[in-house]
Amino acid sequence: MLILGIDPGSWHAGFGVVEQHGSTLRAIEHGRISCRRGATLPERLAHLSLELGALLARTKPDAAAVEAPFHGRNTRSLIVLAEARGALLATLATGGVSTREYSPAEVKSAVTGNGRAEKTQVSRMVRLLLALPSAALSNDTTDALAVAICCAQRWKFELRVGGRQA
């Protein structure tokens, strides 16, 4: 079972592909898609979509997971983030990958046991659960891996109760 976690953004999108094998989790590939400086919004959305399409073709995940939009931001950044999410969700569905959505609290709870955990604690637990070296991982990469871990943990439960889709 291969799960792709994505942390959307309109300049950088983090991604992490996690393999679940029984109770074992393993990071297969992780990183971030970055857009070139000075690119317009449509150019960035097209670049994110294109790079995600290549990632899907290469890794062939069984499912994808993203964090639900967080409402506490200012309206302008909320809109741009939603535009990036939209381009990425369209690409996932075009690639035939079913996508699940989890709230920030669900992700934190799945990774640390505490829905209100600090970012540094989430990042530490992601490295621990996936046995990743402590080398610098960008925040969007650990966030993407965290949502993939959340999806992996919830998978069987969600199948049993009928699943929720973004």
According to CB under 8 A, which one of 17, 33, 35, 92 is a site residue for a copy of itself?
92
CA–CA dist 118, 19 (Å, integer): 25
Count of alpha carbons within 13 angstroms of residue 15, beta-carbon side: 26
| CB neighbour list of residue 147: distance below 8 Å, 6 or more residues apart | 5, 6, 7, 65, 66, 67, 102, 107
Q: Contact letters (x/-) for a copy of itself, 25-54, by CB under 8 A?
A: ---------------xxxx-xx-xxx----
> 37: which 2 tokens?
């400086």
Q: Active-site residue 7, yes or no? A: yes
Closest approach of a copy of itself to the CB of residue 71, in Å: 6
CA 92 – CA 3 distance, rounded (Å): 12
The contact pattern for a copy of itself, residues 52-91, with x = CB under 8 A and - = no contact, is -----------------x-x---x--xxxxxxxxxx-xxx
Q: Which residues bind a copy of itself (CB under 8 A)?
A: 40-43, 45-46, 48-50, 69, 71, 75, 78-87, 89-94, 99, 165-166
